[in-house]
Structure 1
Amino acid sequence: MHTSVKPTRQLLVLLMALTALGEISTQLIIPSLSALEWVMAAKPGSSLLALSVFVAAFGLGQLILGPLSDRLGRRPILLAGLLVYLAATSWMLLANSMGEFIGARALQGLGACSALVMARAIVRDVWQAQAGPALAVTVIGMLCAIVVSPALGGLLVRLGGWQAPILLGFFIAGAMVLVVLGLYRESNAALDPHAGRLTTVVSNYLDLLKDRSFRALALTLALTYGAMFAVIAGSSAVYIGLLGLSPSQYGITLSAIVAALIGGALFTRRNITRLGPHKIVSIGVTLVALGGIATLVTHQVLGLSVLGLSLPQVLVTLGGGMVLPASVAGAVMPNAHRAGLAAGFMGFAQMAGATVSGILLSTLQDGSAWAMVFLNASFAFVAWSIFHLLQPQRRSVSALP
């Protein structure tokens, strides 16, 4: 007989950590990319592919693991994913070439995605109608990782070389396995024997995408994260290579910029029940667009500088901190019977935006900051435009279950 899982502070902390694993895996290694290219005797910029393949695997995996967890349960999928993550991270530490490192990184992304999609589905299972504020809290864990990890990664590279940040990720994931085994029981009380089948998955995804509101939230999330990822992926070369910051100075600067993400998530947690997720996404994506355009204008008029690049990006990250949790809540909460599927698609959308942004950044890279700034502003403006084009004219808080 299935025993219901009660919402507890300990479980919420675990879900915050699981939500953060993907960002920990990315942000920790960004300050070490230049050192990694040197050690692997790879051409400059080739390490960006390691970021892109991770987010591609991270996103595609969620399309499969989300609905599969509706059939098999959250716990087995979560544990299997974490074990794959540990194996892939070990391979990264032993890699002898950039190609081998990139292959291991793709496998690591597949393992890490289980943590994010399962955490979001578990929140819907356990907190039910109160999932909105709880989802915002779990996102705060991810955002804290974005804030802390670059500075920590820069320090670890200086102290222990390029392998040190990867080794920390290995130990964090290992600790998560132990906590999941000891703390979390299965929360999916209504396993669907038809979920996970190809025809059922395709049918359910098509049904989700028929909803204009769901499409608006998914596309806004994808484009907003794409705008932020352009800066996350490109900022190392700009701040260190063009502006002359050290890896540790760069880590501190990036951490200061993305700290505003936490402010946006806290605003969402306090106001999502009163305003509803769609209103918060509207506010957030407007801030993202304003910040992206301000960054582009400042770069074109005043040139490249630390303050001119960093200060407008605070608006982008503040708005992003609202868009990320509110869009997921708006998509998952009305779909309790297929929470894994809905969470999986939103995770896929988020990573698809990052993947496209990373590929475009690598393609357009010319040694200047122009590609990063242009993509940041373009993704931000298109996110704002699409949300307001697709958003239903009237959406009330009472529409949420």
Structure 2
Amino acid sequence: MTAPRPASVHASAPGQTGAGDAAGGPGNELRLLLILSALMSFASVSTDMYLPALPTISRALHTTSASIELTFSAFLVGFSLGQLLWGPISDRYGRRLPIAIGLVLFTIGSVGCALSTTVTQMMVWRVVQALGACVGPVLSRAMVRDLYGREQSARMLSTLILIMGVAPLVGPLLGGQVLAFWSWQGIFWTLAGIGVLTLASLAALPESLPPARRSATPLRHTLGSYWELLGDVRLMGYALSGGFFYGGAYAFIVGTPFAYIDYYHVSPQAYGWLFGLNIVGMMVANFVNRRLLERFGSERLFHIGTWILALTGIVLAINARFGWGGLPGLVVPIFFYMSMNGLIVANSVAGALSAFAHKAGSASSLLGAMHYGSGILSAAMLGWFSDGTPWTMAWIMALAGIGSLATSAISTRIRAARGLATEASG
């Protein structure tokens, strides 16, 4: 599948690769797609591979499932806060150097996790790992915004998510096999190897932000820039709605190992297949989204996604509360719930960044921090309210789905009301 051409071609400074060069031909576009997909997958790779090992790690470190779930929250803390740093840095200094530094941090953090002997040590190294891992998704989104307009960005992001879907699909399966034939430490050694290989691939990644287009704003003014972005109703509507989706998604990611493996006695290897089923749904939905964008537009598809998300979340909660359907009663609604990634994520990101071409890195950072930051709360809530059944995970996912629908509807009405007020005053 070939990505669309950039909406515009920007001139490059002498000796630099410009935006037009970065995506200027079929070969370059394919190379860009593959590398950006790999970078965007670091969030899922960092979490999905060790999911089948969570119960094993809990026993090996002599701790509770709630404490092990905090290693996930620790990762999300580093992942969210790190994005707020990398975006402004990349707006000022370009995209490639921050990506390289981030990959080095990711590799060091992965090695630290492999060598951990206590849950506290693992939490610390997970933060380091996350500070590096977050550079991939945030700067991949920024690079897409460097090169494409809104509708083209939505198509490109859908294509990237479609390709990167291989990572979370393979992640739990690979993690289960590494656990079976090696150890839980081997999962983190494998992640360290992935970090090194991706770092080597940067030699083929062109710079999408030439010096002439970089921000001249000193980094100490970053806080003021974020404050300006927080006041934008359009960006905040998309960010909050997408954040609710991610909150529900991370409740699924953290909750299903114990719901499936401990509660329903699914093997770690079979868990990988059940987890991968949802990734297939995401990939199909992203493919459908890409095909329907021209006909319906990203805004309408985004709202359709939030409606389906809320409805399937409610069905999931009812099934979990009353035990209806057993394991399939969880697997089926979760499949449709997680598939809405294909309609919500790409369209909300494209809509949020469409008005911020001049500070795509900062806007992408804020967006990512709010998205992944919501996972901190949902993962923590699983530990606080866990009753040993899938019910806690299910009601958190249901509330997240309703929240995504509500914030998208409210922000749309506010924007419409302001538009009418502007027309009246004019």
Hey, what does 2:145 align to over in structure 1?
A: 124
Per-residue displacement from partner, 1:49-88 (whole Å, max 9, x unpaired)? Answer: 1111111111111111111100011111000000111111
Hey, what does 2:156 align to over in structure 1?
A: 134
2:307 to 260, 265, 286: 286
2: CA distance, partners of 1:198 / 1:220: 29
Per-residue displacement from partner, 1:88-125 (whole Å, max 9, x unpaired)? Answer: 11111111211111110110000000111111111112
Query: Which has the larger displacement, 295-304 or 81-90?
Result: 295-304
Query: Is 1:3 matched with 2:38?
Result: no
Pairs within 5 Å for 1:63-74: 63-74=84-95
Give the % identical residues: 27
Hey, what does 2:108 align to over in structure 1?
A: 87
2:243 to 222, 232, 235: 222
Aligned residues of 1:288 and 1:320 also touching (Cα < 8 A): no
2: CA distance, partners of 1:109 / 1:214: 24
Per-residue displacement from partner, 1:357-391 (whole Å, max 9, x unpaired)? Answer: 11111111121211111101111111111111111
The alignment partner of 1:45 has SS state of helix
CA gap of 1:23–1:228, structure 2 versus 1, over 3 A, is same
Cα deviation for residue 301 of structure 1 reads: 3.8
2: CA distance, partners of 1:347 / 1:142: 17
1: CA distance, partners of 2:224 / 2:387: 43
1: CA distance, partners of 2:161 / 2:275: 18
Q: Which amino acid aligns with 1:6?
A: A
Pairs within 5 Å for 1:261-276: 261-276=282-297
Hey, what does 2:424 align to over in structure 1?
A: none
Query: Is 1:191 matched with 2:214?
Result: yes
Hey, what does 2:201 align to over in structure 1?
A: 179
2: CA distance, partners of 1:386 / 1:328: 15
1:28 to 45, 49, 52: 49
Pairs within 5 Å for 1:15-164: 15-128=36-149, 130-164=152-186
Aligned residues of 1:280 and 1:322 also touching (Cα < 8 A): yes
Task: Give the count of matched residue pairs.
Answer: 392
CA gap of 1:354–1:141, structure 2 versus 1, over 3 A, is farther
Query: Which has the larger displacement, 2-11 or 127-136?
Result: 127-136
Per-residue displacement from partner, 1:170-224 (whole Å, max 9, x unpaired)? Answer: 11111111110x21132112111215x233x222222222222211100011001
Per-residue displacement from partner, 1:253-308 (whole Å, max 9, x unpaired)? Answer: 12113321112211222233443332221011111111100111222344461100
Q: Which amino acid aligns with 1:175?
A: L
2:375 to 341, 354, 357: 354
Hey, what does 2:3 align to over in structure 1?
A: none
2: CA distance, partners of 1:202 / 1:70: 14
Query: Which has the larger displacement, 370-379 or 273-282?
Result: 273-282
State the structure with more CA Rg.
Answer: 2
Aligned residues of 1:21 and 1:112 also touching (Cα < 8 A): yes
Query: Is 1:210 matched with 2:231?
Result: yes
CA gap of 1:91–1:302, structure 2 versus 1, over 3 A, is closer
RMSD of the TM alignment (CA)?
Answer: 1.7
Aligned residues of 1:212 and 1:390 also touching (Cα < 8 A): yes
Aligned residues of 1:268 and 1:280 also touching (Cα < 8 A): yes
1: CA distance, partners of 2:230 / 2:374: 17
Q: Which amino acid aligns with 2:141?
A: R
1:165 to 187, 193, 209: 187
Hey, what does 1:242 align to over in structure 2?
A: 263
Q: Which runs of 5+ in 2 are unaligned?
A: 1-13, 24-28, 418-426
Q: Which amino acid aligns with 2:308?
A: L
Cα deviation for residue 148 of structure 1 reads: 2.3
